[in-house]
């Protein structure tokens, strides 16, 4: 089977975090999100992956090259974002197959078995078979109405209050028949969710497949931390400390925590639970970090406390700093000594913060 990974969108809520890597390269347990996805695709017998890219395309190409896990990798590049449908149409020549293919949203973390979707697809006379997941609040997603035989009769993207036909949402994983290309105009932005799926629903050509495994769309900082937490709970469990890392006397590391290579953790610091620390990070003494992700090459001085926060690359955090939950600290930021950042503060890359911020806001 061939697969298209939609990897091109602009990560709005998480965008301030990094100016050097797209969301798909954000680390989950110190490994990029896309690595987890590619590993799963290989296990699901996918032989060729087409990455549909625009935003930071060069970074992705440089990072992955031409193959991974014995799968061929190809890049379908959009000069301008063509939307989720336009990106699939743009990849038509690279797919070049008469067989159904898999399409996935790149920002999904899941343990769903894609082969189940293909089996379902083959049972119906469908152009699209989409994976569906039950959520409490469907407003952030595409929602569907189904017949008893799981045919989608209605597809509403981002329903407004009271408009959602059910709590079953599009999980961003599809098997598409090559006939789909006749439904998407060439060379222009098209949303598969707003334009193509509703048309297929009218023509009785789209089916759903419910599943209940782990599934998270990494759309917000909280989603990202939840994925980090889940991964550490399920795959790491016991804390891991990478090669050449130094953990000084009196440090307490609470499971599960993952520390990458060449990291230093200073005396009497408390790290964990649910902390992921990237390469070459330096944490000085008596600092407390929990439920957070720290990107590589960041330095955190002594007696600082960080909770429920994502810290980008090459950041410098001073001493006696307090960073509360739901903060995003962008790449190469400097947070000076004694600063307190209250819950929900976002600091954009390269900012210098010398005074406390006591109301949630974004520092541009
Ligand atoms: N190549 C390319 N070009 N990729 C794109 C483009 C584009 O113009 N626009 C978005 N993408 C990619 C994003 O990178 C992401 O991986 C995926 O398509 C979905 O885009 P998001 O921006 O994350 O959409 P969403 O999360 O609001 O909604 C989508 O996902 C939900 C499930 O997670 C929709 O498919 C919803 O219907 C769905 O419920
Ligand atoms: Mg998304």
Please give the pLDDT value at position 87. Answer: 97
Whether residue 349 sits in one domain with residue 299: yes
Nearest ligand for residue 50 CA = 1
Please give the pLDDT value at position 56. Answer: 87
Pick from 232, 231, 235, 234: nearest CA to 254: 232
DSSP letters, 170-233, are: EEEEEEE-GGGGGGS-TTS---IIIIIHHHHHHTT-EEEEE--S-EEE--SHHHHHHHHHHHII
Please give the pLDDT value at position 55. Answer: 84
Whether residue 249 sits in one domain with residue 204: no
283 falls within a domain? yes
Calpha distance 162→142 (Å, rounded): 14
Calpha distance 357→9 (Å, rounded): 30
- Say which CATH number the domain at 342 has: 2.160.10.10
- Say which CATH number the domain at 195 has: 3.90.550.10
Whether residue 350 sits in one domain with residue 208: no
156 falls within a domain? yes
The preferred substitution site among 94, 105, 108 for testing ligand 1, maximizing ligand atoms within 8 Å of CB, is: 105
Whether residue 321 sits in one domain with residue 287: yes
pLDDT in tens, the chain (364 residues): 999 999 986 667 888 899 888 899 999 998 999 999 999 999 999 999 999 999 889 999 999 999 999 999 999 999 999 999 999 999 999 999 999 999 999 999 999 999 999 999 999 989 999 999 999 999 999 999 999 999 999 999 999 988 999 999 999 999 999 999 999 999 999 999 999 999 999 999 999 999 998 999 998 999 999 999 999 998 888 899 999 999 999 999 999 999 999 999 999 999 999 999 999 999 999 999 999 999 999 999 999 999 999 999 999 999 999 999 999 999 999 999 999 999 999 999 999 999 999 999 999 9
Choose the final residue of a domain: 219, 247, 280: 219
Nearest ligand for residue 157 CA = 1
Whether residue 215 sits in one domain with residue 276: no
306 falls within a domain? yes
15 falls within a domain? yes
Q: Which residue has the tokens 């999100």?
A: 33
Name every residue whose Cβ is closer than 8 Å to that of residue 28 and which is 6 or more positions away in sequence.
36, 109, 227, 228, 231, 276
Please give the pLDDT value at position 115. Answer: 95
State the DSSP code for 98: S
Tally of structural domains, the chain? 2
The preferred substitution site among 5, 8, 9, 103 for testing ligand 1, maximizing ligand atoms within 8 Å of CB, is: 9
Please give the pLDDT value at position 11. Answer: 64
Whether residue 174 sits in one domain with residue 31: yes
Calpha distance 76→90 (Å, rounded): 7
Q: Report which protein residue has its CA nearest ligand 1's atom 17.
A: 105
Whether residue 166 sits in one domain with residue 51: yes
For the beta carbon of residue 60, count every other beta carbon within 10 angstroms. 24
200 falls within a domain? yes
226 falls within a domain? no
Please give the pLDDT value at position 237. Answer: 82
Whether residue 319 sits in one domain with residue 249: yes
* Rounded distance from Cα 269 to ligand 1 centre (Å): 39
Whether residue 315 sits in one domain with residue 167: no
75 falls within a domain? yes
Which residues are annotated as catalytic? 158
227 falls within a domain? no
Whether residue 248 sits in one domain with residue 104: no
Name every residue whose Cβ is closer than 8 Å to that of residue 270 and which is 6 or more positions away in sequence.
251, 252, 254, 287, 288, 289, 290
- Which residues span the domain enclosing 298? 238-363
Q: Encoding tokens for residue 304?
A: 């600082």
Which residue ranges have their beta carbon within 6 Å of ligand 1?
6-9, 52-54, 78, 81-84, 87, 105-108, 141-142, 157, 169-172, 193, 217, 219
Q: Can you give the pTM of this predicted structure?
A: 0.94
């Amino acid at each position: 089977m061939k697969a298209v990974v939609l990897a091109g969108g602009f990560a709005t809520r998480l965008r301030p975090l990094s100016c050097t890597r797209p969301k798909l390269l954000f680390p989950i347990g110190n490994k990029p999100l896309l690595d987890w996805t590619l590993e799963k695709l290989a296990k699901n017998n996918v032989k060729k992956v087409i990455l549909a890219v625009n935003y930071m395309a060069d970074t992705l190409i440089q990072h992955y090259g031409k193959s991974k896990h014995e799968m061929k990798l190809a890049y379908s590049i959009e000069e301008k974002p063509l939307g989720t449908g336009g990106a699939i149409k743009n990849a038509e020549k690279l797919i070049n197959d008469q067989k159904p293919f898999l399409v996935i949203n790149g920002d999904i973390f899941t343990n769903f078995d894609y082969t189940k979707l293909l089996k379902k697809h083959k049972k119906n006379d469908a152009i699209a078979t989409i994976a569906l997941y039950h959520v409490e609040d469907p407003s952030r997603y595409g929602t569907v109405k189904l017949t008893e035989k799981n045919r989608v009769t209605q597809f509403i993207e981002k329903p407004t209050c009271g408009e959602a036909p059910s709590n079953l949402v599009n999980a961003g994983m599809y098997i598409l028949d090559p006939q789909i290309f006749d439904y998407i105009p060439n060379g222009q932005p098209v949303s598969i969710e707003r334009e193509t799926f509703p048309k297929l629903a009218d023509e009785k050509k789209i089916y759903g497949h419910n599943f209940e495994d782990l599934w998270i769309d990494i759309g917000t900082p909280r989603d990202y931390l939840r994925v980090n937490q889940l991964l550490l709970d399920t795959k790491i469990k016991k804390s891991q400390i990478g090669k050449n890392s130094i953990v000084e006397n009196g440090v307490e590391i609470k499971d599960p925590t993952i520390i990458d290579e060449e990291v230093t953790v200073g005396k009497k610091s408390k790290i964990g639970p649910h902390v992921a620390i990237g390469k070459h990070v330096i944490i000085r003494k008596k600092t407390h970090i929990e439920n957070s992700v720290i990107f590589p090459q960041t330095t955190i001085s002594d007696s600082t406390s960080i909770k429920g926060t994502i810290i980008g690359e090459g950041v410098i955090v001073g001493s006696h700093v307090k960073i509360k939950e739901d903060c995003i600290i962008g790449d190469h930021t400097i947070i000076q000594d004694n600063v307190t950042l209250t819950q929900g503060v976002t600091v954009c890359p390269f900012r210098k913060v010398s005074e406390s911020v006591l109301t949630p806001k974004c520092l541009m």
